[in-house]
Amino acid sequence: MERNTKKVSDSMVEQVFQVRPEHLNGAGRLFGGQLMAWIDEVAGLVGIRHSNGDVITASVDNLKFMRGAYLKDLIVLVGRITYVGHTSMDVRVDTYIEDHRGIRRSINRAYLTLVAVDENDKPRPVPGLTLENESEQAEWLAGEKRRELRGQRRKEGF
Ligand SMILES: CC(C)(COP(=O)(O)OP(=O)(O)OC[C@H]1O[C@@H](n2cnc3c(N)ncnc32)[C@H](O)[C@@H]1OP(=O)(O)O)[C@@H](O)C(=O)NCCC(=O)NCCS
């Protein structure tokens, strides 16, 4: 049977939070663990939308903190699917601070791998991905490379 496919835009998620006192660490900045929780949540929503069901986070492949955030900052997270395997999906989450003019400054970029699971938590197949432009094609190629590196890491134990 031919594999059903979806577009990147079908599952894209944009979520906005405001940094409140309970999100800060002792140094008065946004606590990194809080941001990671938001990133994981957004990635999970992208995975649920693409796969039409439950997902679990298998790994965080890469997570880069570029700048800090502070009380009252508006934090915008944009999640998009970049690559799919048979049951797994790679999701990129970009995080920005948005000022009152609507201008966004990038503060974090992360790549996560989600696995679609059935009611018994067993991996289940996901739809394929239709790539619509060059940047989606470039992300797909990078996803293939990351998958290759994960396999190598698993085999060689580094
Ligand atoms: C993720 C999990 C379901 C994979 O189970 P598994 O028995 O290894 O399943 P498989 O070997 O059949 O792999 C299934 C898919 O997951 C991928 N995968 C497995 N472990 C992975 C890892 N650490 N990182 C990235 N992908 C992984 C495989 O490459 C495969 O992808 P594909 O179908 O697209 O080729 C299992 O390891 C698990 O339940 N982990 C705990 C997840 C969890 O609790 N997360 C935190 C809370 S959400």
Instruction: Please report, for the domain that includes residue 47, its CATH number.
Output: 3.10.129.10
- How far are the Cα atoms of 21, 92, 99 from residue 6, in angstroms, in the given order? 39, 16, 33
125 lines ligand 1 (CB under 6 A): no
What pLDDT does 98 receive?
A: 98
Instruction: Give me the number of domains the chain comprises.
Output: 1
What number does the ligand 1 atom closest to the CA of 56 have?
48
What pLDDT does 60 receive?
A: 95
What is the residue range of 78's domain?
A: 5-156
42 lines ligand 1 (CB under 6 A): no
What pLDDT does 72 receive?
A: 97
Q: Which residue ranges in the chain fall short of pLDDT 70?
A: none
SS3 48: helix
What pLDDT does 147 receive?
A: 95
Which of 64, 92, 104, 95 shows the shortest CA–CA distance to 8? 92
- What is the whole-number distance in angstroms between the Cα of residue 83 and the centre of ligand 1? 15
123 lines ligand 1 (CB under 6 A): yes
96: β partners? 76, 106
58 lines ligand 1 (CB under 6 A): yes
Cβ atoms within 10 Å of 12's Cβ, excluding its own: 15
Determine the number of helices (DSSP H) and then strands (DSSP E) in the chain: 3, 7
- What is the whole-number distance in angstroms between the Cα of residue 87 and the centre of ligand 1? 8
Residue 82 near residue 60 (C-beta atoms within 8 A): no
CA 31 to CA 150: how far, in whole Å? 28
Mutate to test the pocket of ligand 1, among 59, 115, 120 (most ligand atoms within 8 A of CB): 115
What pLDDT does 3 receive?
A: 86
51 lines ligand 1 (CB under 6 A): no
